[in-house]
Amino acid sequence: MAVPSAPSAFRTLGLLAALLAAAVHSNIVYDEDPLQPVTSDETVSVGGTVTLTCHVPESDNSSLQWSNTAQQTLYFGEKRALRDSRIQLQRSTPTELSITIGDVQLSDEGEYTCSIFTMPVRTARATVTVLGVPGEPQISGFENAVPEGVKVILTCSSTGSRPPASLRWYKGDQELEGRPKAAESFPDDPTYNVSSELTLELSRADDNALVTCAVEHPSLAPGDKRSLQALRVLYSPYVQIVPESDLPREGEKFYLKCSGNANPEPTSYVWEKKDGELPPTAKVEGAFLHFERLNKSDNGVFLCLADNGQGSSQGEYTLLVQDAADNSADPTAMATSSGVDHAVIGGVVAVIVFILLCLLIVLGRYLIRHKGTYLTHEAKGSDDAPDADTAIINAEGGHSGAEDKKEYFI
């Protein structure tokens, strides 16, 4: 076997390098071809409108053309080639050709071609994806109220989606885990039917709760399509006896109410008194036990038995009748009465003090206005006289009755 010489080997390597460089250069030229049309893929929902745009970086006055999936010409420049009113020209320039397709159908999905008639002809492709919009979800499997503790299976279904839609379950704001079924499709219908099952064991807390089935799909905004199902649960009574007031007083009217809290509402109520008979003054009226006039003899434990057909339950209440004038059992009343008494006493004291001050002021002014001095002209020398007769004799003028005694008020 002959071994190639060194010069021959170098020539071979050089030829390979030249071929590689030419290939790379060819790709670069192709990528930067100013006449190569550029398009983009589009997604649209059934019934919507899609815009197809084709443009070239530079123009050599060659025309642009759009063709459909069957390679039928739609527009050649500004000229309509296919008579389809759904297809309209949006923009036509030497470097751009844009068209719109309205009321898109699933049959419009596929690959569209933009061509520029140069030498050679250059083309670009745009894939249009059409979304089948899912229908409103429908919930089935729950028609009538069911007793608590029973398991129910709800089924949610939606048709017409492409690609297949997803279904989610919620009870109130809480998401529940459903069991999706395989999507169904038919040869003459490119859309899918989807469904999901939800199993619930119902309790009395589920009565009137809302279960939601929501559809998720690229053609929909979150929460666009959903269906609601109200749950109705039958359950036995939970009995509580509610008094008219918390302070039953002797001699007053009073009643007790038997609250059944059931679905359906209780149909029968039975009132009893523990360890004895109902008082003669007590009157039963369905869920109510009326006392026309309370008496200490009414004290005791009262029972109410309620039944609604789903079951029965019993509640009890201890009645303790208070004295008619006894406020000690009502701290609020005592505090209120004490507060009122103190207020009244304080007011009376204030009035008395005010009246005394007024009397003192009036008396002082009266004394100031009537203050005076009394002067009397008595017999002079009376100070040295041993007795009254001598004082008169020694008086000035020597006359005992010369002048009557006078008093002057100044």
Q: Residue 8 domain-assigned?
A: no
| Residue at 340 is within a domain | no
Q: Is the pLDDT of residue 291 over 60?
A: yes
- Is the CB of residue 269 less than 8 Å from the CB of residue 304? yes
Domain boundary residue, one of 70, 103, 131? 131
Q: Which tokens is 164 given?
A: 């297949």
Question: Based on C-alpha coordinates, what's the Rg of the chain?
Answer: 57
Type of residue found at 263: N
The verdict on residue 58 lying in a domain is: yes
User: Residue 252 belongs to a domain with what CATH number?
Assistant: 2.60.40.10
Among 287, 319, 351, the domain boundary falls at 319
Judgement on whether residues 230 and 244 belong to the same structural domain of the protein? no
| Whether 207 and 277 share a structural domain | no
Q: Which amino acid, one-letter code, is at 362?
A: V
> Residue 54 belongs to what domain range?
42-131
Q: Are residues 253 and 223 in the same domain?
A: no
Could you tell me whether strands 166-171 and 174-176 are parallel, antiparallel, or unpaired per DSSP bridges?
Answer: antiparallel
pTM over 0.85: no
**Nearest to residue 226, comparing CAs of 170, 154, 152?**
170
Q: What is the mean pLDDT of residues 154-158?
A: 97
CA distance 204 to 214: 25
If one counts the domains in the chain, the total is 3
What would the pLDDT profile of 172-227 be if each residue is shown by its tens digit?
999 999 999 999 998 888 999 999 999 999 999 999 999 999 999 999 998 899 99
Q: Assess if residue 37 is contained within a domain.
A: no
Within this chain, do residues 229 and 272 fall inside the same structural domain, yes or no?
A: no
Q: Is residue 346 part of a domain?
A: no
Q: Is residue 168 part of a domain?
A: yes
Final residue of a domain: which of 234, 265, 296?
Answer: 234
Phi and psi at residue 72, to the nearest 5°: -90, 135
Is the domain of 73 the same as that of 111? Answer: yes
Q: What is the pLDDT of residue 354?
A: 87
CA-nearest of 106, 144, 134, 145 to 195 is: 134
Same domain, 49 and 125: yes
Closest CA to 311 of 237, 387, 386: 237
Q: Tell me, yes or no, whether 249 lies in a domain.
A: yes
Q: What is the tens place of the pLDDT at every residue in 54-105?
A: 999 998 888 899 999 999 999 999 999 998 999 999 999 999 999 999 999 9
Same domain, 216 and 254: no
88 inside domain: yes
Residue 391 has pLDDT above 60, yes or no: no
